[in-house]
Structure formats: C-alpha cells, structure tokens
Amino acid sequence: MPFKRFFRRAEEEEEEIDIEDYLNELSIREGKIIEREDITYIKPMDLDPEGGGVDEAIRELEKNNIVVLNVKQLLRNKILLRDVVKKLRENCIDLDGDIGRISSEKILLVPTSMRIIHRGS
C-alpha cells in the first residue's frame, strides 16, 4: 500500500461520526412513517420542565409501544420528577407494563407482556 494512501486511511478512521446522521443514511425507510397497529414502535419522547408529555407517553404505552422518556428537563425539580415517575409507575402497573431507568436522564416504559430486567436482579 502506498505511503500516502496509508495516511489518508488513518485520517478517515479518526473522523468523528454523527451516529444519528449515519443511521439516517442507512435507513431502509423513506419518507413519513405511517404507524400501524400491528407493529410495536420504540418512541423517544421528551418531558418539558413542567412535566408535560406524561399523558402522551401513557397513550403510547396504551398503544403497546415502548417509550424512551427523556426527563433531563425535570432534573432540577426533584419533587416534580418524583411525582411524574410515580404517575408513570402507577399507569405502567395498571396497563401491566413495566418502568425502569436507563440513565440519570432516561426512563424506559414497556407495554403489557414485557418486563425489564433491572441490574442486580
């Protein structure tokens, strides 16, 4: 392999990759997704600083979808965050789903007949 070509390959490997852009380029779907009832979707959602978005997350759970909920906006308000998690937990129990923490900013909600195996279990 020529010397110049070796350095070009090393530079290409060191380039940072935007994962979201890269995955979008690989997407097998084009255009807008029309949701079907016979498919379970994984829905990323954000809660706003006042806890808005909880009802929407619960509706997605009722549709048998998996919700990855970003609670970053609530981290400064521990009381509101506790109340939101309590409401989500109660609804998960009512719907025979499950709730778990992915990270300090993300909560996972899964629908009926799915369970999350928590660390240490």
List the 106-110 sheet strands across, edge first. Answer: 42-46, 66-70, 106-110, 98-101
Domain borders along the chain are 35-110
CATH H-level, domain 35-110: superfamily: SepF-like protein (3.30.110.150)
Tens of pLDDT, residues 31-51: 566 788 888 999 999 998 887
Rounded-to-integer distance, Cα 114 and Cα 121, Å: 16
pTM of the model: 0.72
The two tokens of residue 24 are 């979008």
Tens of pLDDT, residues 72-107: 999 999 999 999 999 999 999 999 999 999 999 999
Whether residue 39 contacts residue 66, with contact meaning beta carbons closer than 8 Å, is answered with no
